[in-house]
Amino acid sequence: MDYRILDDMNTLIEVRGITKEELAESIGVSRMSVNNWLEEKKAMRENNIGRFYEYAFNIGFRLNRLKNQLYIEENRDKSQVLLFHGAKTFIDGSIRLDASKQNNDFGPGFYCGDNIEQSVMFVASYPESSLYMLKFNSKNLKYKEFFVDQEWMLTVAYFRGRLDGYKDTDLVQNIISNIEKLDYIIAPIADNRMFELIDQFIDGEITDLQCQHCLSATDLGKQYVFLSEKALRQVEILERCYLSQGEKAYYLNRKSEDYEIARDKVKLARKQYRNQGHYIEEIIK
């Protein structure tokens, strides 16, 4: 799916009152080139596409956030959910369940976020990354919503390969059987930073209560994980959105700031809930 570059150019011209001469000058081309693009007589080169989106972001025109708001306003049906997928490059063909890694939070599946900022942050460090906006129809599907608690921590630990030594226990077998019945999952996002905390819990360094409150402090948002073909058929890609270098740098800076705040919250939570809760050997017997 290509970017909607011409729609975006027309939006910028109409909303901000940018003239074609100003647009041409900002990109470093002639007005004739801009006219040819808008009239679809010639296709834009990749470097000019990047210059356009960089210019739009630098003048404070947040196209992707604007699109996010417009899609929300257009889709008020409660069964329709607006989601975001950050891609390191692009989605090749149709979305698939087997394109993800095996050791993700809930195994192979198609992973999306409900927050545009978090989705961009996850891929902002990749030079060719892009953002997808999607619509999900949740009708007639089996799902489970997880929260930051012991069940979620153990489930993530299992799918990330940290409970292999406990595979035959009733607790782990219940985790597996519960997931196998589902079409999709709604759950907190567990990035590598969060998994470090879960790892400490599995290694017996902190209790489940300490881990739970440390993880709550990071506040990364929720993800939708599609596990069945039935669920995937109810996911529709609305648009592939361009991420300019300026936009990615902005979100990387935000990510760094959020990390510093979360790190202090985690330290406080570890201290406040020390020796409260249960260690892993008390939970899995």
Task: Write down all domains in the chain, each with its CATH number in brackets.
Answer: 1-61 (1.10.260), 77-283 (no CATH)
- pLDDT given for residue 53 in this prediction: 96
Predicted pLDDT of residue 22: 93
Digit-by-digit pLDDT tens for the chain (285 residues) are: 689 999 999 999 999 999 999 999 999 999 999 999 999 999 999 999 999 999 999 999 999 999 999 888 877 777 789 999 999 999 988 898 887 777 788 989 999 999 998 899 999 999 999 999 999 999 999 999 999 898 999 999 999 888 888 888 888 888 888 898 899 999 998 777 788 888 989 998 889 998 888 888 776 689 999 999 999 999 999 999 999 999 999 998 888 877 777 778 788 888 888 889 998 988 886
Taking CA atoms, 170 is separated from 34, 155, 198, 219, 280, in Å, by 65, 13, 20, 30, 15
Rounded Cα–Cα distance for residues 55 and 147 (Å): 40
CA pair distance 257, 251, nearest whole angstrom: 10
> Alpha-carbon distance 191 to 122, whole Å?
9
3-state secondary structure 8-56: HHHHHHHHHCCCHHHHHHHHCCCHHHHHHHHCCCCCCCHHHHHHHHHHH
CA quadruple 205, 210, 215, 217: dihedral positive or negative?
Answer: negative
* pTM metric for this prediction: 0.90
pLDDT of residue 1: 62
